[in-house]
Amino acid sequence: MRVVNKNKECRRKAWNSAWIAVAVAVVLWAAPVSVLGADLKPETLQQWDEYVKAVDGRIQEHLAPAASFVSSAQNPDESAKLRAGQIIVWPASHEVPLKVDSGLIHDWIGAAFIPDTTVREILAVLRDYDRYEQFYHPSVVPSKLIASSDSKDEFSMVLMNKSVVAKTALDSDYQTTYTQVDEHSWYSISDTTRIQEIADYDTPLEDMLPENHGTGLIWRLHSVTRFEERDGGVYIQLEAVALSRDIPAGLRWIIDPIVRRVSRFSLATSLRQTESAVRLFSASAMTSFNKSSTAGMVRSLR
């Protein structure tokens, strides 16, 4: 197993992937489930926690000396497609969405390649939280940084659902931990720490619902992302995992294919939006970022 030098990690762990939560959050955005109220059950949450633990455990497989850190970068056919500008998205298993007690786990993996850039440039753009509404329009409304340290970032964001339930939004908090493995490889783990639905968002009837209650379009979000800098750019491989309420058995044969199609499209769209943000805003974001208190961390990546 590859061992990360802690001193080196502290100096170089300067990159943040809290933006990944954005991609996860839109995976279910158009899933046509019932809008009637529901509550997240303890047994559902327990099965979710067990699944997430297994997802996180798989990162160790990619740290082994002979393992490929970003598998798409090591596969000649896939890497050629990515360098040609394609985005590849696939389900983590044939059972996606996975049925659990009173819920569904959606687990999708997406890969992209951003040419002519570095992790430093991507970092400068993706930490520019005030521009998330521009980067991930129209799903993201306001967003802001809550706290940042050398190993963890926290931020909040409102996600607007304009396609399924009129004037429904999610007010959510996120936490991301990040690790630089070596000079060219990074990974991050992101989680929601709070999700609350806002009914009748931006209307006189706006109402913030209690945690773990609402339509159940999204109960929890989790992601693991691996970055590898090579071939004149950066390969990104994102595993986006979401927990939603269950779909009635009688409708599942109709709805499951729609959910899968929407999940694939949403993840690809988020990766494409990230690439566009890097291309369009990297210069101005880099100037602003280098003036911030995190400039020293960015320079440590040189």
Per the confidence metrics, is the pTM higher than 0.85? no
pLDDT in tens, 156-214: 999 886 554 457 789 999 998 888 888 888 888 999 999 999 988 888 989 999 999 98
Which residues, at least 6 apart from 65, have a Cβ–Cβ distance to it below 8 Å? 1, 2
Residues 56, 224 contacting (CB under 8 angstroms): yes
How far, in whole angstroms, is CA 284 from its chain's centroid? 24
Which residues, at least 6 apart from 135, have a Cβ–Cβ distance to it below 8 Å? 19, 22, 125, 273, 274, 276, 277, 281
Q: What integer pLDDT is reported at residue 15 of this predicted model? A: 31
Q: What integer pLDDT is reported at residue 299 of this predicted model? A: 39
pLDDT in tens, 109-131: 999 999 999 877 887 787 777 78
Angle at 190 between CA 143 and CA 33, to 5 degrees: 75
Find the DSSP H helices in the chain.
6-12, 20-25, 42-57, 71-74, 76-83, 119-126, 132-135, 249-290, 295-299
Compute the radius of gyration of the chain from its Cα atoms. 19
Residues 244, 107 contacting (CB under 8 angstroms): no
Evaluated on CA atoms 144, 130, 198, 218, the torsion sign reads negative
Average pLDDT over residues 260-273: 86
